């Protein structure tokens, strides 16, 4: 009998749990790095952080939690792990990233 728990744990994407853990670690490290350059809290208007890179990192972490990470948000193609680990915050596949 197949172990459905393992299948679910792998998520809807093509990434292994090890790969997703590696990507999550990379994103968390990047978030920490960016937060060191954040303006003081009182300087952030309405809690909106304008830094696009930071928002991209948060968004990518959210997609990891949602299980939608690794799918291009434009064409819904699977993004290869080799690209994701280089640009973990990217929401686009290679082709869509190139035409952006």
Three-class DSSP category at 31 = helix
- If binding is defined by CB under 5 A, does position 74 make contact with Zn ion? yes
Nearest to 51 by CA among 27, 63, 34, 36: 34
- If binding is defined by CB under 5 A, does position 72 make contact with Zn ion? yes
- If binding is defined by CB under 5 A, does position 28 make contact with Zn ion? no
Contact status, residue 36 vs residue 29, Cβ threshold 8 Å? no
The helix, strand and coil proportions of the chain, stated in percent and rounded to the nearest 5, come to 55, 0, 40
Residue 68 tokens read as 């939608």
Tell me the C-alpha distance between 100 and 97, whole Å: 5
Query: Interacting stretch for Zn ion, rule CB under 5 A, among 7-15, 26-34, 53-61, 76-84?
Result: 76-84
- If binding is defined by CB under 5 A, does position 15 make contact with Zn ion? no
Number of chain positions touching Zn ion (CB under 5 A): 6
11 or 97, CB closer to Zn ion?
A: 97
CB of 98 to Zn ion, least distance (A): 9
CB of 92 to Zn ion, least distance (A): 5
Q: Which residues bind Zn ion (CB under 5 A)?
A: 72, 74-75, 77, 93, 96
């Amino acid at each position: 009998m197949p172990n459905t728990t393992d299948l679910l744990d792998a998520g809807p994407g093509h990434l292994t749990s090890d790969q997703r853990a590696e990507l999550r670690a990379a994103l968390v490290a990047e978030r920490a790095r960016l937060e060191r350059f954040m303006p003081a809290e009182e300087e952030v208007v309405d809690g909106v952080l304008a830094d696009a890179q930071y928002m991209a990192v948060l968004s990518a972490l959210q997609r990891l939690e949602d299980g939608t990470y690794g799918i291009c948000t434009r064409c819904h193609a699977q993004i290869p792990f080799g690209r994701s680990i280089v640009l973990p915050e990217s929401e686009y596949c290679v082709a869509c990233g190139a035409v952006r």
